[in-house]
Amino acid sequence: MSHTKSNSAIAHDFEESKVSSQDYLNYLQEKQKRERLLAANPQAPTNFIFADEKMLRIREIIKQIADANVPVLISGESGTGKEVIARMIHMSSNRKSDPFVAVNCAALPPTLLESELFGFEKGAFTGAHQQHAGKFEQANHGTLLLDEVTETDQGLQAKLLRALQEQEIERIGGNGPIKIDTRIIATTNRDIARSVKDGRFRQDLFYRLYVIHLEIPPLRDRPKDIEVLTRHFLKAFSLQFKGEAATLTADAMQKLLKYSWPGNVRELQNVIQRAVLMTQGNTVTAKEFVLEQKKVDEDLEWVKHLPIGQKMREVETQFILETLRTHNGNRTHSAKTLGISLRTLRNKINEFVLEGHEVPQPTTGKAL
């Protein structure tokens, strides 16, 4: 049975959702403003800087598949540079003169995400005063990046599958399909195969996306990249803030090489930026790097108190419910504590409700 909704049903869902049409129009205005700022920002993440053998191999694969009109799935921890890889694929392809359009699937509730991806016709819902072309159309003849694709819900996954299979989409409120020529690149920081097994991600969509799979190793496994990226960020930020290139002491580099970088390249960039700003003079030393290296033995002490014998799913359920109780049912704070997106937490809560669990409600009366 198909789970794809009709356009009239989607428009009705939008009308009935907690997100008002005015909120959506405000979102569109803010998004356009951010895109203009990004276009004017010369430090946009397009540089592919590396020295590690694993990344050299990825570069060779990119050269091989750049012009192939097939989907690419990029996986890896947050901050490893998945979007940079996606941009490199686009810029290495015969589509490089056409748009590269990115959308963060975890940043919007389902109704807004669907409107953003597929667009809508004038009058499709209250507040739709003009036609809006979605991301698929904006990326026509170019590349569409679906960032954190595993955060989409099952209904939207069905529409994505159809777009991939048929190379056509339909706007909300539209009267017929629109042909598209858009290459899809998807990213995830999750174990997507596990998401399929757990029923959170459609198997047929997984196989459609899994034609080419690139797994980006974490920065801690790429010591050569730590060094070249450090020198790149050091030069860029010192020229930006001090007007001249700074130098780095040997002990400072050793400190960076020994760190585990849980936030990967994004964390390294922030650490170097802070060090440049805080350094008196033009030489950055080890003391300028504030790195919170956790003590493994202390951090894992709680593992000894886990209820051995219970299934992982049961432990996860109780852990999430207890976190919600600690935050008085506040979804936003709980998701932040758990290190997951708000959408993932909401999906988990829906599963718990279906399984009969009592889920703590926000004391404010709003599911924040």
Q: Note the pLDDT tens digit of each residue in 278-303.
A: 999 899 999 999 887 654 444 555 55
Pairwise pLDDT comparison (46 vs 312), residue with the higher score: 312
Report how far Cα 164 is from the mean position of its chain's Cα atoms: 20
Residue of 312 and 170 predicted with greater confidence: 170
Spatial distance between the Cα atoms of 368 and 364, rounded to a whole number of angstroms: 9
- SS (HEC) of the chain: CCCCCCHHHHHHHHHHCCCCHHHHHHHHHHHHHHHHHHHCCCCCCCCCCCCCHHHHHHHHHHHHHCCCCCCEEEECCCCCCHHHHHHHHHHHCCCCCCCEEEEECCCCCHHHHHHHHHCECCCCCCCCCCCECCHHHHCCCCEEEEECHHHCCHHHHHHHHHHHHHCEECCECCCCCEECCCEEEEEECCCHHHHHHCCCCCHHHHHHHCCEEEECCCHHHCHHHHHHHHHHHHHHHHHHHCCCCCEECHHHHHHHHHCCCCCHHHHHHHHHHHHHHHCCCCEECHHHCCCCCCCHHHHCHHHHHCCECECHHHHHHHHHHHHHHHCCCCHHHHHHHHCCCHHHHHHHHHHHHHCCCCCCCCCCCCCC
- Give residue 67's pLDDT band: very low, low, confident or very high (50, 70, 90): very high
pLDDT tens digits, residue range 173-225?
Answer: 878 899 999 999 999 999 999 899 989 999 999 999 999 999 999 999 999 99
Lowest mean pLDDT among 41-50, 177-186, 238-247: 41-50
- Closest CA relative to residue 160, chosen from 180, 189, 141, 142: 180
Q: Which residues contact 285 (CB under 8 A, 6 or more apart)?
A: 249, 251, 252, 279
Q: Which amino acid is residue 335, in one-letter code?
A: A
CB-neighbour burial class of residue 298 (10 A; exposed 0-12, middle 13-18, buried 19+) = exposed
User: How high is the pLDDT of residue 311?
Assistant: 76
Domains within the chain, CATH numbers bracketed = 7-215 (3.40.50.300), 222-288 (1.10.8.60), 297-354 (1.10.10.60)
This prediction's pTM: 0.69
